[in-house]
Amino acid sequence: MHPLLARLAGLVDLAGLGAWARACGLAEVRCAACGRPCDGHPATPSGAPESPSHAPALCPACALALAPRRGGICPRCGAPHALPTLPDAPCVHCLASPPPWAAFRMHGLYEGALRHLVLRVKFSEDHAAARLLGGLLATACADLPRPDGVVPVPLHPERLRRRGCNQCLELARLPAAALGAPLRPGWLTRVTPTRPQTGLSRQERRRNLRGAFTAHPDVRGRRILLVDDICTTGTTLARAVDCLLRAGAVAVDCAVAARTPAHPGRQG
Ligand SMILES: [Zn+2]
Ligand SMILES: [Zn+2]
């Protein structure tokens, strides 16, 4: 692109007229995942010709790398079976001890390009990455019943101050908009500063999260969609869902951007 045109396109983008500029061919469209120029047509990771309106542009390589995990999972917790070609079936853990949520939706496994994208959202306050990941999550949630409120898994206020924003709140925006439901971050609060769950055993995670959440009385009688970025053992989600149900929520569905590939029972 001629430097003058590029400068004009930049100014137009600053003015919030990016879509108009792209339509006029003034602005280069870049892949929302890798930032390389691409043809400007929004692509769903599944390669489907029809893109939902919230889908940003992806280059073909990123669309392939960010394809959702379809098949070969436990529909109750997202734990992957050995091969994606195996039929969906509950895992032994969910058969032995069913999780407290109603439906579970995830985009994919926490590896490769999706892991990279989740980390960008978590640690970089990268709003473009949050929009991309939120759009993928909205697609994964499209068949869920409309909730009364979409609730992000909260951070403790201390950690929120350190980090600046709750990445789960950013991720929840597009699923809430797509389902026509209000965002209700105030319906669930983290009351005890838990240490990070990474590296803890399943039992230590449970202990670490005991009494960690408190629910707002407004959840009584509501159906809730709870949004988290990464699900490792499902302990955080289970504690949060238990708390909402104890406070009178009628049902809680869960949506996670990424699920760790190792089974919770085998996690450290
Ligand atoms: Zn790309
Ligand atoms: Zn399971």
Digit-coded pLDDT (tens) for 178-191: 999 999 999 999 98
Q: Is residue 17 scored above 90 in pLDDT?
A: no
Instruction: Tell me the pLDDT band of 32, cut-offs 50, 70 and 90.
Output: confident
Q: Is residue 9 scored above 70 in pLDDT?
A: no
**Distance, CA of 105 to CA of 53 (rounded, Å):** 20
Instruction: Tell me the pLDDT band of 16, cut-offs 50, 70 and 90.
Output: very low
> What per-residue confidence (pLDDT) applies to 30?
86
Which bound ligand lies closest to the C-alpha atom of 113?
1
Q: Is residue 40 scored above 50 in pLDDT?
A: yes
Q: Which helix (H) or strand (E) holds 170?
A: helix 167-179
The conformation of residue 37, written as its DSSP 8-state character, comes to: B
The Å distance, Cα 113 to ligand 1 centre, comes to 10
The Å distance, Cα 48 to ligand 1 centre, comes to 17
- More confident call, 159 vs 107: 107
* Residue in the structure block whose two tokens are 């449970």: 206
The Å distance, Cα 35 to ligand 1 centre, comes to 6
Share of the chain above pLDDT 70, in %: 75
**Distance, CA of 148 to CA of 191 (rounded, Å):** 23
Which bound ligand lies closest to the C-alpha atom of 36?
1
**Residues whose CB falls within 8 Å of the CB of residue 27, separated by 6 or more in sequence, listed in order:** 9, 12, 13, 18, 21
Which bound ligand lies closest to the C-alpha atom of 264?
2
The Å distance, Cα 268 to ligand 2 centre, comes to 17
The Å distance, Cα 116 to ligand 1 centre, comes to 12
The helix/strand/coil state of 6 is helix
Q: Helices (H) and strands (E) in the chain — how many of each? A: 10, 6
- More confident call, 6 vs 241: 241
Q: Count the Cβ atoms, other than its own, within 10 Å of residue 67.
A: 17
**Distance, CA of 250 to CA of 263 (rounded, Å):** 28
**Distance, CA of 147 to CA of 184 (rounded, Å):** 11
The Å distance, Cα 231 to ligand 2 centre, comes to 12
> Maximum distance among all alpha carbons in the chain?
65
Average pLDDT of every residue of the chain? 83
The Å distance, Cα 90 to ligand 1 centre, comes to 34
